[in-house]
Amino acid sequence: MSQTRSVDHREAAKNRGGLLPQRLTGIGVALMVLMPLTMWLANRSAPLMLGAAVIPFVAAAIAAGEGGDITGRLRSLLATPLGGTIVVFLAWALVSILWSHKPPASLRAWGELVLPIVFALAIAASGRFRPQPVWLRALALAIILACLLAIVELASGLSQRAALGVGKLMSFVFNRPAITALLLAVPAIHGLWNLPEARRSDRALAVVLALAVAALALRSESASARLGVAVCAICWLLAAFRPRLMLAAVACAFVLTMAMAPVLGVAAKNWMPSLILNRFAVMTGQARIDIWQSFGEVVRARPIAGAGFGTSASMDQHPVAAEVAPERRTLLGVGHPHDMPLQAWAETGGLGAGILALAGLLLLARLRRLPGRELAPRLAFFAGAFAISVVGHGAWQGWWIAVLGAGILWFGAAAGQGEDHG
């Protein structure tokens, strides 16, 4: 009888330390794999998928007896200069809510920013996000399927959604899925191409994935996605040959763009040739430049501390609107400046924008330590994401932060794919 009990105890220990953590980890990775498809179906769902994935990953760590390591890993992540700088920005953003004209709305915007960051940190701290190569293949297939579904819907005039009676029957709903596909495809392509024993089919899958993402970007209404694809491809190609030079170029462009954000509208109006401007749709052309000019005046009125975090959603109702030229005030009501660096300036001032610029430079400094093969795709990811942010929508939207976090996590998986944690 005692022998039977001993066997039972050993079997239970094995399940706790092996099979159960593997199953839980598989569930977590499956949720991460499904993100591009859920974004196709519901284009704000990325935070939900990232948050749902936290539960099985953390549970897997606890089941494997690694629960005590989670706090240590989290402390290590936050103790880095980059982690500390991000924490400082979040703290400053929270303080700036004190001079917001709508503190409850600003606090909700702050929570929408913070939650995906917390989710991504929790997954990283769990130490369980180390999928086998099969998960990279699954992610690639999920992205390709999401791209094909979106392209078919766009080609059919959204007849599928109309028949099902779900979602908005507007073609711009695929803009976010297009950006999601791009940002998740970069680590997937890199991972598939550089598997330790990469098969010809893996590299073929990587090529098909790149073509599918480019096709959706071209077919969608998202100028941001098209710009992101172009910048990402060019940066990746150049960085593959001259990684250090390209890193320096991206760093200079990043700092210059962050510094010029308050005068972006004036610069675009004076320097952008009409031949280029006329090629854009109305909301990506002159109207966007007018919006940049309006929010630029907000920055000049509150250059140090900004108007308060999360105030862009109703900037026309903020007291600072009275300090903006009358002909510019109307466009303060569009919801956001259509430029994320400018939004950081307008809401958190030069202090907040400076902290974010420092965080970006610290991230680029970390990339400098990597060999060229690992640096190039990560630099392309950074450059593509920043290019999207310069012409994109609200800076603190949860779906955007969650997709960035997921992309960074998939890079971690690609870098360490030789390890098998279940």
CA–CA separation, 376 and 320 (whole Å): 43
Q: Which tokens sit at 66?
A: 């690694």
Using DSSP, how many helices (H) and how many strands (E) does the chain show?
20, 0
Task: Answer for the pair 368, 247: CB distance below 8 angstroms, yes or no.
Answer: yes
Nearby residues of 343 by Cβ (< 8 Å), 6 or more positions away: 295, 312, 336, 337, 394, 395, 396
Structural domain contains residue 39: yes
Task: Answer for the pair 364, 247: CB distance below 8 angstroms, yes or no.
Answer: yes
The most distant pair of C-alpha atoms in the chain lies apart, rounded to whole Å, by 88
- Which position has the token pair 């006329």? 278
What is the pTM (predicted TM-score) of this model? 0.90
Please write the tens of the pLDDT for every residue from 328-337.
Answer: 898 999 888 9
Please give the angle made by the CA atoms of 2, 8 and 9, to the nearest 5 degrees.
90
CA–CA separation, 234 and 245 (whole Å): 14
Structural domain contains residue 5: no
Q: Which tokens sit at 296?
A: 């630029």
Q: Which tokens sit at 1?
A: 């009888």
CA dihedral 212, 213, 217, 223 (to 10 degrees): -170
Structural domain contains residue 2: no
Backbone angles phi, psi at 157, to 5 degrees: 70, 30
CA–CA separation, 354 and 342 (whole Å): 12
CA–CA separation, 355 and 101 (whole Å): 23
Nearby residues of 36 by Cβ (< 8 Å), 6 or more positions away: 139, 142, 143, 145, 146, 177, 180, 181, 184
13-45 burial, b for 16+ CB within 10 Å, e for fewer? Answer: eeeeeeebbbbbbbbbbebbbbbbbbbbebbeb
Please write the tens of the pLDDT for every residue from 68-95.
Answer: 899 999 999 999 999 999 999 999 999 9
Stretches in the chain below the pLDDT threshold 70: 1-17, 131, 162-169, 198, 270-285, 413-422
Please give the angle made by the CA atoms of 323, 287 and 302, to the nearest 5 degrees.
25
Identity at 24, one-letter amino acid code: L
CA–CA separation, 138 and 132 (whole Å): 10
Backbone angles phi, psi at 116, to 5 degrees: -60, -35
Q: Which tokens sit at 72?
A: 């240590």
Task: Answer for the pair 193, 204: CB distance below 8 angstroms, yes or no.
Answer: no
CA–CA separation, 35 and 112 (whole Å): 18
Structural domain contains residue 12: no
- N-to-C CA span, the chain: 33
Structural domain contains residue 422: no
- Which position has the token pair 């009990």? 5
Structural domain contains residue 353: yes
Quick one: which of 71, 76, 117 has its CA closest to 94? 117
Alpha helices in 127-199 (DSSP H): 133-155, 159-164, 175-193
Q: Which domain holds residue 394?
A: 19-415
Q: Which pLDDT belongs to residue 130?
A: 82
Structural domain contains residue 137: yes
Structural domain contains residue 1: no
Q: How many domains does the chain have?
A: 1
